[in-house]
Amino acid sequence: MSNEFEGQGVVVSGAAQGIGEAVARYFVARGALVVAFDLDGDLLERTTSSMGSDAVAVSGDVAVRADVKRAVDACLEHAGSIDIMVAHAGIADVRPLLEVTDEQWRRVFAVNVDGVFLCTQEAARVMRPGGRVVVTASTNAIQVEENLVAYSASKGAVVTFVRAAALDLARHGVRINAVAPGVVNTRIARWVIEDPVLGPEYLKKIPIGRFGEPDDIAGAVGFLAGPASSYMTGQTIILDGGQTLGIPLDDDGNRSDNLPGDSS
Ligand SMILES: NC(=O)c1ccc[n+]([C@@H]2O[C@H](COP(=O)([O-])OP(=O)(O)OC[C@H]3O[C@@H](n4cnc5c(N)ncnc54)[C@H](O)[C@@H]3O)[C@@H](O)[C@H]2O)c1
């Protein structure tokens, strides 16, 4: 494994499992000193202890400024600097618009939007020029789905936040970009992937023919945090196996969503 991020200080929110865990492992494997930050303190302890002494755990809520600041301070202590902030933690709330309560709406925005704002601001305030922020958006920012209105709106806000923040942070030498995953095999997406009807139906809409894995996303986060993307800021990379490109044809030349296709 390369030492591309040797000695660099990295905070990853939502690191106790899934994509965030894969991102934390990606940086540890490449020499970084990582603060793994998550609301689920018990799981976080277990996950982080299996990463070795280059990773430390800080439990807290990305929607609470004092918790985010504790994670950033822990990184300054652990690594001497914060070079990379990965604002990844997020939640989904699956229900029809007419049933969404004020509390559910506000919690999705508190975690997905306030969390990204707080992580970005607290990190950028103490980053040296050359610092990088990578945010997790979602394909739901551009291709919406029924029963995901709060989640989709929050991810749309995240994509625009990244564009606007990139303008403000450029003068400080800090870059900010986002990844927008499609359906990735983690807890948050199991209700789709493991559903015996929905899962196979959904798969038909993914030209590459499989759901994403956490490491598929971690590699792109590494690119956005590394020197190969040094001329890039304010952008969102879509990683969805081609899902948002359109509807692929099935083996018989028909549209895989069962609408008439052109097989000529
Ligand atoms: N898995 C997918 O299909 C998919 C697709 C697109 C985007 N995403 C995004 O990825 C992120 C979720 O990652 P995942 O797929 O690994 O899901 P996950 O549910 O496996 O992990 C999310 C982690 O975030 C933590 N978390 C939740 N709320 C938090 C808070 N307020 N403060 C700190 N930590 C908190 C959870 O405890 C959990 O460990 C979200 O931003 C989500 O929108 C996921």
pLDDT at 201 over 60: yes
Tell the residue nearest (CA) to atom 32 of ligand 1: 61
DSSP H or E stretch at residue 37: strand 33-38
Is the pLDDT at 157 greater than 50? The verdict is yes
DSSP per-residue codes, 224-262: HHSGGGTT--S-EEEESTTGGG-PPB-TTSSBTTSS---
Q: Is the pLDDT of residue 224 over 70?
A: yes
Task: Give the rounded percent of residues in the chain with a pLDDT score beyond 70.
Answer: 97
Rounded CA-CA distance 24/143 in Å is: 28
Quote the mean pLDDT of the chain. Answer: 96
Assign 263 a pLDDT band (cuts: 50, 70, 90).
very low
- pLDDT surpasses 90 at 253: no
Task: Look at residue 187 and tell me whether its pLDDT is greater than 50.
Answer: yes
Architecture of domain 9-188+212-245: 3-Layer(aba) Sandwich (3.40)
What pLDDT does residue 193 have?
96
Residue 150 banded pLDDT, cuts 50, 70, 90: very high
The residue-averaged pLDDT of 213-230 equals 98
Mean pLDDT of 240-246: 96
Task: Characterize the bridge pairing of strands 55-59 and 236-239.
Answer: unpaired
Confidence of residue 259 (pLDDT cuts 50, 70, 90): low
Q: How far apart are CA 202 and CA 183, in angstroms?
A: 9
Tell me which residues have their CB closer than 6 angstroms to ligand 1: 13-14, 16-20, 38-40, 61-63, 88-91, 111, 115, 136, 138, 181, 183-184, 186-189
67-108 pLDDT, tens digit per residue, is 999 999 999 999 999 999 999 999 999 999 999 999 999 999
Determine the average pLDDT of the residues in 34-63.
98
Q: At residue 256, does pLDDT exceed 50?
A: yes
Between the CA of 224 and the centroid of ligand 1 the distance, in Å, is 19
Q: Is 151 a catalytic residue?
A: yes
Asked if the model's pLDDT at residue 149 lies above 70, the reply is yes
What local confidence, expressed as pLDDT, does residue 264 receive?
43
pTM above 0.95, yes or no: yes
Task: Ligand 1, residue 61: give the atom nearest the CA.
Answer: 32
Q: What's the CA gap between 58 and 15, in Å, rounded?
A: 10
For range 182-195, the mean pLDDT? 95
